Amino acid sequence: MSVSPGFEQVPCPICGSEESRVVLRRGDLMLSSEGEFTVTECLACRHQFLNPRPTREAIHEHYEDEYDQFIVAGQENRLRQLDHDYGQRKRLRLLKRHIAGGRLIDVGCGGCAFLLSASRSGDWDVLGIEPSAATAEACRSLLGLSVMTSSWEGADVPAESADVITLWEVLEHLHDPLATIRKCYRVLRPGGLLVISTPNRGSLDARLFGPYWVGYELPRHLHMFRQEHLQEILAAEGLKVEEVCLPDGAFFAFNTSLRFYLRDHGAPGWLQRAIFSLPLRAVSAPFFWVSGKLLLGSSLTTVARKPA
């Protein structure tokens, strides 16, 4: 089969099997990458992955400046900033349930919203890893944070130097998730924590919206994990899963999927905007709280510990 320039055909990135089946073909619903992209499911381990996928050299072409994770913390409107701050505090409370503090590395730190909150809490000595040179420099100059311009693969970080490594909605973007987890294991101190949030292929959203699910953010999401499979991967790499939860609100993920569906079916613009309103968010809060407790949220967070 012919592969477009800037793309590569790959075996299953988890188990290496060459046998897979097509489960989805779709365009880019979030930004403006041209063309149709294919998600396949490995027949051996059932992992879903983009195939063909953008190469490491070409992946940056599919991101734009307005992509959410590149907005530097503190540069948004006040209401959105308050909402983000609340979300970061929930993430910090999750960490505190497992460890008091220490050296924290945030991989793919983007605009450093979490890193800034962790630094200000006084519990953490922080380091961010961010491949976007412009974003990393903005975080250093505007926020005064220690941010390394690098991919995680290329980051020069000493072994056993971190108490916590976080990957907030990052693992699904990376070409080699196994190598990423293995490097995290090496960099963690004995007893350290690896925290991974990633879209949940078993979520209610994925079941309801199918090809419109926000977790299929093609071609930037290269992987679509099942939560139980991710736990198996972590266990195989020597990490013990301690908690799976939904610390972040699921409202925006659910309604982004709904917006994709409405837009594709010709819904008026006012309705596409109305689904993100504060009154609807308040009314729907119990529904998202229950779905989170049942681990049916669009994204789940897994906390795993390296043996002491």
Give the max Cα distance, the chain: 56
Separation of alpha carbons 147 and 145, rounded Å: 6
- Residue 20 contacts residue 9 (beta carbons within 8 Å): no
pLDDT of the residue at 134: 87
Is the domain of 124 the same as that of 161?
yes
For residue 54, is it within any domain?
yes
For residue 89, is it within any domain?
yes
Q: pLDDT of 128-172, one tens digit each?
A: 999 989 889 989 999 999 999 999 999 999 999 999 999 999 999
Is the domain of 51 the same as that of 147?
no
- Residue 184 contacts residue 206 (beta carbons within 8 Å): no
| Strand pairing class (223-224; 48-50) | antiparallel
Is the domain of 87 the same as that of 56?
no
Alpha carbon of residue 260 to chain centroid: 19
- Residue 112 contacts residue 140 (beta carbons within 8 Å): no
Is the domain of 218 the same as that of 125?
yes
Separation of alpha carbons 31 and 54, rounded Å: 15
Boundaries of domain holding 132: 68-247+300-305
Is the domain of 169 the same as that of 153?
yes
pLDDT of the residue at 72: 61
For residue 168, is it within any domain?
yes
Q: How many domains does the chain contain in total? A: 2
Backbone φ and ψ for 181, nearest 5 degrees, come out as -65, -40
pLDDT of the residue at 1: 60
Q: Which two tokens stand for residue 223?
A: 């992987």
For residue 258, is it within any domain?
no
Q: Residue for token digits 């101190």? A: 189
Q: Residue for token digits 């790959």? A: 10
For residue 242, is it within any domain?
yes
Is the domain of 169 the same as that of 26?
no
Alpha carbon of residue 181 to chain centroid: 14
Please give the order of strands across the beta sheet that includes 37-42.
Answer: 20-26, 37-42, 48-50, 223-224
Is the domain of 35 the same as that of 162?
no
For residue 293, is it within any domain?
no
Handedness of CA 66, 206, 15, 167 (dihedral sign): positive
pLDDT of the residue at 224: 97
For residue 276, is it within any domain?
no
- Angle, CA 285 vertex, CA 281 and CA 288 arms, to 5°: 115
Q: Which of 44, 62, 80 is the last residue of a domain?
A: 62
**CB atoms inside a 10 Å sphere around CB 74:** 14
pLDDT of the residue at 86: 79
Separation of alpha carbons 157 and 19, rounded Å: 36
Separation of alpha carbons 16 and 18, rounded Å: 6
| Strand pairing class (162-168; 188-199) | parallel
Half-sphere exposure of 236 (CA within 13 A, CB side): 11
Is the domain of 12 the same as that of 124?
no
- Angle, CA 238 vertex, CA 13 and CA 91 arms, to 5°: 85
Q: Looking at residue 240, which CATH number applies to its domain?
A: 3.40.50.150
Q: How far apart are the first and last CA of the chain?
A: 48
pLDDT of the residue at 101: 96
Q: CB burial class (10 A; 0-12, 13-18, 19+) of residue 231?
A: middle
Is the domain of 107 the same as that of 124?
yes
Is the domain of 128 the same as that of 178?
yes
Instruction: Tell me the residue length of the chain.
Output: 308
pLDDT of the residue at 2: 77
Is the domain of 20 the same as that of 72?
no
Is the domain of 136 the same as that of 186?
yes
Q: Which of 46, 62, 78 is the last residue of a domain?
A: 62
Q: Which two tokens stand for residue 264?
A: 């594709």
Separation of alpha carbons 259 and 238, rounded Å: 40
- DSSP code of 65? T
- DSSP code of 201? T
- Angle, CA 133 vertex, CA 131 and CA 139 arms, to 5°: 95
Half-sphere exposure of 227 (CA within 13 A, CB side): 22
Instruction: Tell me which residues of the chain have a pLDDT lower than 70.
Output: 1, 65-84, 249
